[in-house]
Amino acid sequence: MSDSRVIPVPSSSPPSQSLVNALSRALSRREAKSARRRLTVLPQETVDFSSNDFLSLGTSPAYRGRFMTHLKNAPDSFPFAKELERFVADFHQAPTALLFNSGFDANVGVLSSVPQPGDVILYDELIHASAHEGMRLSRAGKRIMFPHSSAAGLRDALQTQINEDPSVRNGTKNVFIVVESIYSMDGDVAPIRDFIQVVDDLLPHQNGYFMVDEAHSTGVFGPRGAGVVQELGVQDRMFIRVHTFGKALASHGAVVLCGQETKDYLINYARSLIYTTALGFPFLASIRTAYELLANGETESLQVRVQELIRHLHTRLHSLRADQSVLFEVDHFPTSPIFSLRTSKPRQLAAFCQRNGFIIRAIMPPTIPEGKERVRVCLHSGNTEAEIEGLVQTIQSWLDQCELRSANL
C-alpha cells in the first residue's frame, strides 16, 4: 500500500535541481525584460552620482574623527541606545523615539501592527516597497491607494470611505494616511500641508493619523536637516515619522518618532523590532555621530552646498540638446538632490556614463512602474562643478551618438 504523504520524486530530476531551475527561469524572465539586478562594486576613480550619501558624510573627516572618539569611549550599549533615542527625539521635536535596525524594519513594524482590525489605510501610489510589505501584513480592513501627491485624490478617496462607512464618519474607525516627504525615485516633495487640510475638512472627529517616511529628507531638508515635516512646522500633526540613517547620515538603521503609548505598543507588537537583534554599538556610535553633527549645525554648510549644486545641475541639464530619435526628459523638483532622466534606453545611458567614469544607475520595473524607466542622478555636497560638467558633457555625447545612429538607419 502506498503512503499518500510521500510525494513521488521523478527519477530524472532531483527536487533541488528543479527548484534551481525555477529560480533560473525567474532570473531569465527578469533578464529578458532588462530588469535583472546585480550587486556591483563602484570602481575606484569614478564619480559618485548614484548613492544617497547626499551630505558626503561617508567620506567626511569630521564624521570619521567624531565616530572614532565615540568608539574609543564605548560605554554599555543599552544606556547609550536609550540616551541616543532621547537625543534624536529632542532634535526632531518629538515626544519619543524608537530605534529600528533599518527603515524597512521600521515601516514593516509600524504598518503591520498599528492599524487595528477594520481600520482604513490610504496610501500614496508611490510609497516605498517596505510600506507595502507592512500593509500586506496589517489587520486593516481596507488599503486604498490614492494618486501620487494629489490632495484632490486623497480627498476623493477619503470622501468615498466616509460615504460608505458610518464608522469612518463618526470616528470609530481610524484612518491612516501613509506618505513620504520626499519620494526616492522622482525626488519630489509631498504637499503635506494640503493633505492636513483634507483630513481637517473631512475627519472632524480627529480619527485621521499621518504616517510619514522621511528617508530621503533626513539631513538634507528642514532646519539643520531635521526633515520636511519640521520645515513646515507640522510635527505635532504627524502620528508617526520614520527617519532612516542609511542615506544622508552615512550609517544604518532608522528611528520611529511617536508618542509614548505608541512606542510602548511597538515594543510589544512590532515583530520586526522584537524578533531581531538590536543595532550593535558601532552603529549606535555612527548614528550618534551624525546627529551630533546635525544638532551642532556642522552640516548646515553641506546642505547649502548641495542646494548650490542642485541649481547648477538643473541649469546644465536643461541646456542638453536631444533629437526626437531618443526620448529624453529631465524630471526634477527644484530643491531635491534627486534628478530623474527619463529615456527609453536607461541601461544604455547608464552604461555609457559608467564607462566614462560617472556612476549613475538605470531604474527599471518593478522598482518603478512599467513605462517610467529612467536614470537616477543623485547629487552630494562633495561633488564639484567640474564633475557635473563632465557628466553633462558625457550625456550630451550619448545623445549625439543616438542621433547619429538613428540617422544612419
The CB-of-249 to ligand PLP minimum distance in angstroms stands at 10
**Is residue 376 a contact point for ligand PLP (CB under 6 A)?**
no
> Cα–Cα distance between 192 and 153 in angstroms, integer?
13
Minimum CB distance to ligand PLP, residue 264 (Å)? 23
Instruction: Decide: is 251 part of the binding site for ligand PLP (CB under 6 A).
Output: no
- Give the amino acid at 11: S
What residues contact 73, with CB distance under 8 A and at least 6 apart?
none
Rule CB under 6 A: choose which of 113, 130, 217, 383 binds ligand PLP.
Answer: 130
Compute the CA torsion angle 335, 337, 341, 345 (nearest 10 deg).
-170
Q: Give the shortest CB-214-to-ligand PLP separation in angstroms.
A: 8
**DSSP secondary structure string for all residues of 21-50:** HHHHHHHHHHHHTT-------PPTT-EESS
Cis before 15? omega within 30:
no
* Residue with smaller CB distance to ligand PLP, 107 or 230: 107
Site string for ligand PLP, 77-106 (x = CB under 6 A): -------------------------xxx--
Contact track, ligand PLP, 34-63, x by CB under 6 A: ------------------------------
Choosing from 70, 92, 128, 263, the residue that interacts with ligand PLP (CB under 6 A) is: 128
> CA of 164: how far to CAs of 133, 179, 236, in Å?
26, 23, 29
User: How far from the centroid of its chain's Cα atoms is residue 236's Cα?
Assistant: 22
Minimal distance, residue 182 CB to ligand PLP, in Å: 8
Q: 94 vs 322, which CB is nearer to ligand PLP? A: 94
Q: Which is nearer to ligand PLP, 189 or 402 (CB)?
A: 189
| Residue spans of alpha helices (H) in 174-279 | 192-202, 228-232, 260-269, 271-274
Q: How far is the CB of 123 from ligand PLP (least distance, A)?
A: 12
Per DSSP (E only), the strands in 36-101 are 47-48, 96-100
Q: Which of 157, 211, 254, 392 binds ligand PLP (CB under 6 A)?
A: 254
Q: Quick one: DSSP state of residue 358? A: E
On whether the CB atoms of residues 139 and 115 are closer than 8 A, the answer is yes
- Cα distances from 207 to residues 107, 145, 162, 258, in angstroms, run 21, 18, 12, 16
Nearer to ligand PLP, 88 or 254 (CB): 254
Distance CA 189, CA 231 (A): 12
Q: Is 49 left (phi over 0), alpha (psi -120 to 50) or beta?
A: alpha
Shortest Å, Cβ 160 to ligand PLP: 26
Nearer to ligand PLP, 155 or 288 (CB): 288
Residue indicated by cell numbers 544612419: 408
Residue 161 C-beta: closest distance to ligand PLP, Å? 25
Least distance from ligand PLP to the Cβ atom of residue 38, Å: 18
Instruction: Return the amino acid letter for 93.
Output: Q
> How many residues at the interface with ligand PLP, by CB under 6 A?
13
The amino acid that residue 259 corresponds to is G
Report d(CA 209, CA 177) in Å as an integer. 6
Contacts of ligand PLP in 167-186 (CB under 6 A): 180, 184
Give the residue at shortest CB distance from ligand PLP: 103
Helix or strand holding residue 137 (H, E): helix 129-137
In the range 202-241, which residues lie near ligand PLP by CB under 6 A? Answer: 213, 215
> Residues interacting with ligand PLP, by CB under 6 A?
102-104, 107, 128, 130, 180, 184, 213, 215, 244, 246, 254
